C-alpha cells in the first residue's frame, strides 16, 4: 500500500472540518446547488439525509450565525459593510468619476457597477447587478450597469476607452466575447444612455492605488438622493428583486 493512501486528502480534511463546524451550529446550515457547482459537483444534500446526520436539530430558516449580523431593516450601506466581500474597486471607480466631475447618476452607476461580483455572482454580473438595483434607481443607472459588461470588451477611443491590457492578461490574446455579448454591444452602441455605460468603463479602474483615499462615507449622500431605500429594509420589501437581496441576507436558509 502506498504511503498516504490511508491518510485523508486535503479536500477530505476540508470537508471533515466543514462537517465538524456544521455540527457546532445550532441549526442545520444548507448549501444550495450553486455552491456545490462552484466546487465542480452537480450535487445536493436532501432534507432527510441532513436531518439524519444532525439528530435533534432543525433546518436553518433565518440568519446564518457565522455571517456578520444585519440590522432588522437593512439599507444598501449595511450590505456594503456586511455583505460585500470587497468594496475598494467600487469606491475607487466612483471616486474617479466624482473627481472627473460626472453627474450623480454616473457616480452612482460606477459605485454599483460590479455589485453582483462583490456580493453575488461573477458570471453575467452586469445583468444580475442591473436586476438587483433596477427597482431602486433611475433607469439610466441600471441600464448602464447591465451594458457595461458588454461594452468593456469593445474599445471606444474617442471616449477615452481602450481594450484593457488586463483582459489580455486574464483571458488570453485570442479571447472573443460570445455572440450574445456582441449583440448586447451593438444594441448599447445606439442606446440613449450609451455614454453612461461607457463612462463606467472609463472609470472602471483595476489597479488599486494604495495611496488613494476612498471612503464609503463620501457616497452616503449620493446614495441617499439616488437610491430609493425601502422603508421595510432592502430585501424585505416586495420589489421585483427583493428576493435577490434576501438571498444575500440569508444565503444558507433551507428554503
Ligand atoms: Fe464589471
Ligand atoms: Fe469593475
Q: How far apart are CA 83 and CA 89, in angstroms?
A: 15
pLDDT of residue 2: 45
Mean pLDDT to the nearest integer, 23-52: 94
- Let me know: does 91 contact 219? Beta carbons within 8 Å: yes
Of residues 213 and 227, more confidently modeled: 227
pLDDT of residue 23: 63
Of residues 213 and 116, more confidently modeled: 116
pLDDT, tens only, 107-153: 999 999 999 999 999 999 999 999 999 999 999 999 999 999 999 99
CA 31 – ligand 1 centroid, Å: 26
CA 197 – ligand 2 centroid, Å: 12
Q: Which of 95, 90, 102, 96 is nearest to 133 (CA)?
A: 90
pLDDT of residue 17: 72
> For residue 208, is pLDDT > 80?
no
Which of the ligands is closest to the CA of residue 166? 2
pLDDT of residue 8: 78
State which residues have CB under 5 angstroms from ligand 2, the bound ion: 114, 204
The DSSP-derived string for the chain is --TTSSSPPHHHHHHHHHHHHHHHSSSB----HHHHHTTT------HHHHHHHSTT-PBP-S--TTSPPPPSS--HHHHHHHT-S--HHHHHHHHHHHHTT--HHHHHHHHHTTHHHHHT-STTHHHHHHHHHGGGS-HHHHHHHHHHHHHTTS-BGGGTBPPPHHHHHHH-TT----HHHHHHHHHHHTSTTHHHHHHHHHT---S--TT----GGGGHHHHHHHS---TT-TTSS-STTHHHHHHHHSTT---
pLDDT of residue 6: 57
- Let me know: does 246 contact 232? Beta carbons within 8 Å: no
Question: HSE of 46 in the Cβ direction (CA atoms, 13 Å)?
Answer: 3
Which of the ligands is closest to the CA of residue 147? 1
CA 5 – ligand 1 centroid, Å: 44
Of residues 222 and 24, more confidently modeled: 222
CA 173 – ligand 2 centroid, Å: 20
Output the average pLDDT for the chain.
Answer: 93
CA 185 – ligand 1 centroid, Å: 14
- Let me know: does 185 contact 197? Beta carbons within 8 Å: no
**Residue 119: exposure state from Cβ atoms within 10 A (0-12, 13-18, ≥19):** buried
pLDDT of residue 4: 46
> For residue 186, is pLDDT > 60?
yes
Question: HSE of 53 in the Cβ direction (CA atoms, 13 Å)?
Answer: 17
CA 148 – ligand 1 centroid, Å: 6
pLDDT band per the 50, 70, 90 thresholds, residue 12:
confident
CA 3 – ligand 1 centroid, Å: 47
Q: Which of 185, 108, 188 is nearest to 141 (CA)?
A: 108
pTM of the model as a whole: 0.90
Angle between helices 88-99 and 104-112 (to 10 degrees): 160
pLDDT, tens only, 162-175: 999 999 999 999 99
How much of the chain, in percent, has pLDDT values that exceed 70?
Answer: 95
pLDDT band per the 50, 70, 90 thresholds, residue 210:
low
CA 146 – ligand 2 centroid, Å: 12
> For residue 3, is pLDDT > 70?
no
Which of the ligands is closest to the CA of residue 89? 2
CA 48 – ligand 1 centroid, Å: 40
Q: How far apart are CA 244 and CA 103, in angstroms?
A: 28
CA 146 – ligand 1 centroid, Å: 9
CA 41 – ligand 1 centroid, Å: 27
CA 61 – ligand 1 centroid, Å: 32
Mean pLDDT to the nearest integer, 66-85: 98
pLDDT, tens only, 227-254: 999 999 999 999 999 999 999 999 999 9
- Let me know: does 110 contact 94? Beta carbons within 8 Å: yes
pLDDT of residue 1: 40
Amino acid at each position: 500500500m502506498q504511503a498516504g493512501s490511508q491518510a485523508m486528502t486535503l479536500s477530505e480534511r476540508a470537508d471533515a472540518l466543514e462537517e465538524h463546524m456544521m455540527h457546532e451550529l445550532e441549526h442545520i446550515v444548507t448549501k444550495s446547488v450553486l455552491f456545490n457547482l462552484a466546487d465542480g459537483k452537480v450535487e445536493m444534500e436532501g432534507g432527510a439525509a441532513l436531518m439524519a446526520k444532525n439528530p435533534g436539530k432543525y433546518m436553518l430558516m433565518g440568519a446564518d450565525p457565522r455571517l456578520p449580523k444585519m440590522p432588522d431593516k437593512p439599507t444598501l450601506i449595511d450590505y456594503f459593510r456586511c455583505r460585500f466581500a470587497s468594496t475598494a474597486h467600487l469606491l475607487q471607480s466612483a471616486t474617479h468619476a466624482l473627481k472627473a466631475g460626472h453627474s450623480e447618476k454616473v457616480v452612482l452607476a460606477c459605485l454599483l457597477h460590479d455589485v453582483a461580483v462583490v456580493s453575488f455572482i461573477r458570471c453575467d454580473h452586469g445583468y444580475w447587478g442591473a436586476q438587483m438595483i433596477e427597482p431602486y434607481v433611475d433607469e439610466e443607472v441600471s441600464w448602464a450597469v447591465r451594458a457595461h459588461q458588454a461594452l468593456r470588451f469593445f474599445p471606444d477611443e474617442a471616449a477615452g476607452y481602450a481594450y484593457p491590457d488586463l483582459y489580455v492578461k486574464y483571458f488570453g490574446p485570442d479571447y472573443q466575447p460570445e455572440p450574445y455579448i456582441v449583440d448586447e454591444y451593438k444594441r448599447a452602441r445606439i442606446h440613449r444612455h450609451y455614454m453612461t455605460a461607457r463612462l463606467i468603463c472609463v472609470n472602471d479602474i483595476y489597479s488599486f492605488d494604495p495611496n488613494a483615499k476612498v471612503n464609503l462615507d463620501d457616497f452616503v449622500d449620493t446614495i441617499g438622493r439616488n437610491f430609493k431605500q425601502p422603508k421595510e429594509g432592502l430585501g424585505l420589501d416586495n420589489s421585483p428583486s427583493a428576493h435577490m437581496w434576501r438571498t444575500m441576507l440569508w444565503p444558507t436558509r433551507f428554503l
